[in-house]
Chain A
């Protein structure tokens, strides 16, 4: 096989719920999980995927237009019928003719997406392919799954040039054994209430069987591997599975992510892989293995190559996300997942953003295209026919700068949408390098920040987030987040 990982990126939301916060209300625990990651009000599987993918693309140093395939594995897409992968592709600025698909059905979906992407590249259908695992699953209040299920995304950019790790071989095992499931219409993941049988026939057995099958097929043994990057339903089972397979992870415990952010579902094996790659040296081997209840497992062997050191530091490591956190209480968590609700607002009388206007403006509002006046250089955003500064009529298409400095701001205490998020900071920023007196500015809501983080002159960046929902459709857009220097 000549396909390998050219770049990778991860994303873990900054909010954390400690085990004690849940225990105070319900008692209970999940093995080894001390705290779990929780999305912000404006995040979901889509926005997390975009954040991780942007990092993977930057890490690889390729242009989005060169990426020929995008395969997204998730069991928590905001839609049953509507492609999350296509929203992600548009936000990333990929070509409309790329191969784009959603993989679902189990938390094994991300590695099935990985296999499909490898097939795509090996068949010579494209130069690069992007695979993302992204999930944000919910456990029923009081259930041990509420302790364990967290939020995160991880993306791998695959290709043949500039590999930091090469895929050597793979093995799959499919079985309908079921420990957890979520039926149509359910908000929460369900489970059989027997941890003894889960240990006997579930995750541990299936991962180990898959690993053994892989060894039998390839002739490799556990001692060939320095790292085990396994899906992590809790923080103990992966370690015991690695031990049974004879992998001695001397450099890295086999569960570094889940104790601090919980079970991130389809993104879990990739997050663990990223944690391994963050410290792996050329010549070392990683055994990557996924697990999906009711689906089975995929195992892959990766050999780390020389190029890994040259690309270090080009994307934020997993550790950055594990450390960048803010604790929330159980009430905030319940508000975030929608169990504690503010009394409903009147239905919108008319939406100014109509179906056609949303389509017309997508290049600017979703893909962040901007126009630079050929006459005076003023940055016009979104689309205009006459320059906002000099009234010129000729423009050059440019990408909107993502960073800027706050000109002014305020905090909204009375709001029509999302009153549970009030006070909402809103700012107008002059974008970096943007010219113009009237032009060059962008206004938006701010997120992931406290009032004291907001000052005139402060540096901010645009990030992809949920910007409301109408008729059950999520409106995605951009918000400002303070940049920490």
Chain B
């Protein structure tokens, strides 16, 4: 149950670099790029010296880009921030949005007035065979893999169960990929910038049946940054801040056989409920949603678990076009993880950048009309950690 009504915190700046396979940029280059984009976005300007503390979200040191240790210095060094405090956050795919959440708590607690959050991940410097999908697991299982079961394996088992129980089809999953690829062509920051068809998606190589290549998001290089200020000082930086209305984080077992079932994410339901209560809204009040489509099946389940449609009706909901850009509830106008890419630590922060543009009316071709309230949703592990953040044009 949410004890707090909203958070007295506002987003006063947001910026990111174009995601992709960035062979010409180092981890530090990406951080600096996102930081500068964020500074530039502050309407009334900001004196960098006024930033009192920072949070850095990076998920996979060592495996992702072969750094030994990632600390707060990973951010303090490249932007010459020291000796100011930087905390480094890691919480699977919720890394970026949890960095934002914790930074907001520090501001809400009255410890700081202005803080920086940067999410960054370097994933493409290593060959595909070394990647998260092929090499490392996301959940330990000694019988079949000393390093665990791969992400496509785990999400594939959800797709099979949902299909068996509700008659969902691979075509429904393909429609989600088609939608997100289309949205991605309208977003200048995406990793992939091309349209696909349902037939292409269905005929693509299989990764983990029933999931194919176009059901899976890529691994990506990228970074994104936002500035959070005390709500009562937000107007010093911009007349159009985003207000932090609600946040919810929930957990669920990581170990595959310990899941309650394979047709829902209980942690998404729990995190959304807390965030909705804190914001004083319900799912119908959400104008646009940036959802964690690591796999198309994840987005489909999330429609249901966020309360956008009934359990089991995710397939019908996409078929009827509700989550498309011109639908009743646009989901992933940015192109989502599918088209934009998924640099893990950066993802949750970049989703807030997308809300920043939409709620301020700056999203150009992909602008969701009259957007008042938007939410971001991240899901780590197999729905093992889920974080929902809600932002609005007006404070609660």
Contacts and interface: CB of A to CB of B under 8 A. Distances in A.
A426 to B, nearest CB: 6
Given A414-B133, A468-B144, A428 B257 contact: yes
Residue among A381, A409, A410, A470 with most chain B CB within 10 A: A410
B169 to A, nearest CB: 15
A414 B208 contact: yes
Nearest to B134: A416
B207 A443 contact: no
Interface in A428-473: 428, 437-439, 441-445, 451, 456, 467-468, 470
A411 B210 CA distance: 7
12 contacts: A361-B142, A409-B160, A410-B156, A411-B209, A415-B150, A416-B136, A441-B257, A441-B259, A451-B209, A468-B144, A475-B142, A479-B143
B379 to A, nearest CB: 18
Nearest to B141: A443
Contacts of A413: 205-209
B157 A423 contact: no
Given A413-B205, A441-B258, A443-B141, 15 more contacts: A346-B129, A348-B146, A352-B137, A352-B148, A353-B140, A408-B158, A410-B153, A416-B136, A416-B150, A423-B206, A441-B257, A444-B144, A467-B144, A468-B144, A475-B143
A278 interface: no
A412 interface: yes
Interface residues of A, number: 45
Contact of B160 (A388, A410, A443): A410
A467 B143 contact: yes
A456 B150 contact: no
Interface in B35-90: 62-63
Contacts of A339: none
Contacts of B211: 410
A310 interface: no
Interface string B145-159: 111111011001111
A417 interface: yes
Residue among A358, A417, A451 with most chain B CB within 10 A: A417
A438 B260 CA distance: 4
A349 B260 contact: no
A51 to B, nearest CB: 17
Residue among A438, A456, A468 with most chain B CB within 10 A: A438
A354 to B, nearest CB: 10
B17 to A, nearest CB: 27
Residue among A350, A412, A477 with most chain B CB within 10 A: A412
Given A388-B253, A467-B142, A408 B160 contact: yes
A416 B145 contact: yes
A441 B255 CA distance: 11
Contacts of B205: 413
A214 interface: no
Contacts of B2: none
A456 B161 contact: yes
A417 B210 contact: no
B145 to A, nearest CB: 6
Interface of A: 345-346, 348-353, 358, 361, 365, 381, 388, 407-417, 423, 426-428, 437-439, 441-445, 451, 456, 467-468, 470, 475, 477-479
Contacts of B152: 412, 414
B29 interface: no
Contact of B257 (A349, A361, A417, A442): A442
B147 A352 contact: yes
Contacts of A416: 129, 134-136, 145, 147, 150
B209 A437 contact: no
B164 interface: yes
A410 B205 CA distance: 15
Contacts of A417: 144-145
A408 B262 contact: yes
A324 to B, nearest CB: 24
Task: List the 4 closest pairs (A to B, CB-CB), nearest first.
Answer: A410-B156, A477-B143, A408-B161, A441-B257
B130 interface: yes
Contacts of B142: 352-353, 358, 361, 365, 467, 475, 477
Contacts of A415: 134, 150
B256 interface: yes
A427 B164 CA distance: 14
B231 to A, nearest CB: 38
B260 A412 contact: no
Contacts of B137: 352
Contact of B157 (A352, A353, A408, A451): A408
Interface string B120-143: 000000000110011111001111
A427 B141 CA distance: 13
A442 B255 CA distance: 10
A349 B65 CA distance: 12
Residue among B135, B150, B153 with most chain A CB within 10 A: B153
Contacts of A437: 260-261
Contacts of B147: 348, 350-352, 416
Contact of A349 (B62, B145, B158, B256): B62
